Amino acid sequence: MNQSLHLQGIGMTSRRTRMRLVQRLRDEGIKNEDVLEVMADTPRHIFLDEALAHRAYEDTALPIGHNQTLSQPYIVARMTEILLESKPSRVLELGTGSGFQTVVLAQLVNEVFSVERIRPLQEKAKERFRQMGLRNVRTRHADGGMGWPEAAPYDGIIVTAAPSEIPEELLRQLADGGRLVIPVGGDKQELTVVTRRGNNFDHRVIEPVYFVPLLGGVIR
């Protein structure tokens, strides 16, 4: 089951502010109404340190520590919209980070598997999922470059850090008809979508993006 959020005590005061953000996402071309609704329902400020919380509804990426960033709302919405086109049920996410993208996904698909290589970020995100009463998210502290083979195949894989090339292993973990949404490249990155049809992989480039790099190894 897709999940709705338990938000008691989290503060709903900012819904009006979030509606302004949603209008902006519409203006920028986001069309999927389910995605827009979830963006309106998900409090982004709780994924940030208090000192930055007042900037939560700006359409910009914001730092979450350890040289990482909470992605720009537009890009979260765009990647989610593209992922949903193939109506996924089980989704793998690489780069849990703050957990914002994870929580957006958890409200739109049946099951989310999310991998993060930096332990303190993973722990914080897990605590947020618990607070929000999410029961359809599994997390793992690991280098996600090899995916999460034990739980494969996935109808959708979303990667929120950029490798220089698409890891082959991720393609193997895609179900037939499933799609991978991933930023690829170094200084110049392209948001890329790969759709699996049997053993054919159809690549499509969406738009230029800028993500932190997908790195190897784990941090404890």
Closest approach of ligand SAH to the CB of residue 146, in Å: 9
Q: Which of 35, 38, 94, 108 binds ligand SAH (CB under 6 A)?
A: 94
**Tokens in use for 161?**
């850090």
Q: Which of 48, 70, 181, 182 binds ligand SAH (CB under 6 A)?
A: 70
- Decide if residue 98 touches ligand SAH (CB under 6 A): yes
Using CB under 6 A, which residues numbered 8 to 27 contact ligand SAH? none
- Decide if residue 42 touches ligand SAH (CB under 6 A): no
For residues 41 and 73, give the distance between their C-alpha atoms in angstroms, rounded to a whole number: 13
- Decide if residue 118 touches ligand SAH (CB under 6 A): yes
Q: Write down the catalytic residue from 71, 86, 114, 164.
A: 71
- Decide if residue 209 touches ligand SAH (CB under 6 A): no
- Using Cβ positions, the residue closest to ligand SAH within the complex turns out to be 97
**Per-residue 3-state assignment (H helix, E strand, C coil) for the chain:** CCCCCCCCCCCCCCHHHHHHHHHHHHHCCCCCHHHHHHHHHCCCHHHCCHHHHHHCCCCCCEEEECCEEECCHHHHHHHHHHHHCCCCCEEEEECCCCCHHHHHHHCCCCEEEEEECEHHHHHHHHHHHHHCCCCCEEEEECCHHHCCHHHCCEEEEEECCECCCCCHHHHHCEEEEEEEEEEEECCCEEEEEEEEECCEEEEEEEEEECCCECCCCCEC
Closest approach of ligand SAH to the CB of residue 218, in Å: 8
Taking contact as CB under 6 A, which single stretch among the options 19-27, 105-113, 126-134, 208-216 is the one that binds ligand SAH? 208-216
Q: What does the per-residue mask of binding to ligand SAH show for 157-196, with x meaning CB under 6 A? A: ---xx-----------------------------------
For residues 121 and 63, give the distance between their C-alpha atoms in angstroms, rounded to a whole number: 12
Between 162 and 174, CB nearer to ligand SAH:
162
- Residues labelled catalytic: 71
**In the complex, which residues of this chain contact ligand SAH (CB under 6 A)?**
64, 68-71, 94-95, 97-98, 100-101, 115-118, 121, 143-145, 160-161, 212, 214-215
